[in-house]
Amino acid sequence: MKCSAKGVCAAKGFTANGIHVGIRDQDPARKDLALIYSEQPGTAACVYTTNKVKGAPIQVTKAHLKNGTAQAIVVNSGNANTCNADGIEIAEAMCDSAAHALDIDPEKMMIASTGVIGQPLPLGPITANMAKLAAGLDQDGHTDAAQAIMTTDTHPKEYAVTFELDGKPCALGGMAKGSGMIHPNMATMLSFVTTDVNISAAMLTEALHEVCADTYNMIYIDGDTSTNDTFGVLANGMAGNACITEKNEDYQIFKKALYEVAMHLSKMLAKDGEGATKLLTCKVTGGASVKDAKSDRHVGSFFDPAEVCDLWRGCQLGPDLVCHWICRCQSGYRSGGC
């Protein structure tokens, strides 16, 4: 498995673009509308926020993915389109506008929004620039798209890998955003992965949930989860491999590729957390099972802001031996031993 620099455009048949339309401010350098497009429809699956309050884009995407297929993804930053009376209407209108520019069925659109909650999302700037966005789709547009979904991120986050299935060269790449409101199970994050692997919707969904549990659902910055979190995958099958319809060797190779991309992007998110100066990892050994290792008995208190005291936070910034032993001491009463 090799690393690729093409992000969401690493796989065959995918193009992307990101432009400034003025959703959040008038600085033309701040892109705020992204589009990812596949030459042909493919299987699609998503994992969403566990927050009981869910943004309108999530509701629309869920409805569109009932048949497990999609062809394009439109994303805006600067406004979450959440807790708005006309939120679903706006999200559907964005899908209609993008679908018209791409000449595809609006039901084949996935949509996501990120940014300020509770403020009306202005549709005018989006629809007025959708044709320009679509016209600029390019195999080198992956970084523009990654920049367009950023909010408080300090840099775009992309990663991709190449591998083989059934003797066919395949690729899988993704982009992500999120710097604050990051907490296990999902966060104020968006991540989209594209691949040319031929895989059934059922197997894609299975792999997505398995990988998400050990990547995006294991990162923490500040203890909050958002209303719009979405991790989506679109697979167009253009690699030409035999369709993956069961958990065979090809499924395991695909899942490994998805895990590698998701893990790299997850670490990028955590490292770029608001105010973060270090990336800390917690390794749990000796658990009776994976579920037990993830339980509060072992790591739960480290992810609970109410239980993480100032001494603990301060020790994470100190490289000396005293800080090391204080951390060991606190781990003893926080998680039942070290």
Average the pLDDT over 79-83 and give the result: 90
pLDDT of residue 255: 98
Is 42 within 8 Å of 236 (Cβ atoms)? yes
pLDDT band of residue 328 (cuts 50, 70, 90) is very low
Looking at the predicted structure, is the pLDDT value of residue 315 above 80?
A: no
Range of lowest pLDDT (4-18, 168-182, 248-262): 168-182
Per-residue pLDDT tens digits for 233-266? 999 999 999 999 999 999 999 999 999 999 999 8
Structural contact between residues 237 and 43, judged by C-beta atoms closer than 8 angstroms: yes
Average pLDDT, integer, range 37-56:
87
- Give the three-class secondary structure for 172: strand
Structure tokens at 145: 């798209």
In DSSP notation, 108-133 reads GEEEEEEEESSSPPPSHHHHHHHHHH
Give 44's strand partners. 234
CA distance 232 to 208: 8
Who wins on pLDDT, 208 or 333?
Answer: 208
Structure confidence at residue 270 (pLDDT) = 79
Contact indicator for 181, 226 with CB cutoff of 8 Å: yes
Residue 306 CB partners (closer than 8 Å, separation 6+): none
Q: With b meaning 16 or more CB within 10 Å and e meaning fewer, what string describes 25-62?
A: eeeeebbbbbbbbbeebbbbbbbbbebeebbbbbbbbe
Query: Alpha-carbon distance 331 to 326, whole Å?
Result: 9
Judge whether 188 counts as a catalytic residue. Answer: yes
Average pLDDT estimate for 49-60: 80
Please pick, among 188, 205, 215, 230, the residue that the annotation labels catalytic: 188
Residue 244 sits at φ, ψ, to 5 deg, of -80, 110
What does the alpha-carbon distance between residue 159 and residue 175 come to, in Å, rounded to a whole number? 7
Reply yes or no on whether the pLDDT at 188 is more than 60. no
Identity of the amino acid at 334: R
Q: Report pLDDT digits (tens) over 267-310.
A: 888 777 666 666 667 777 777 777 776 665 555 545 554 444 55
Stated pTM of the model: 0.84
Percent of the chain with pLDDT over 70: 77
Residues 6 or more apart whose CB falls under 8 angstroms from that of 168 comprise 239, 240, 241
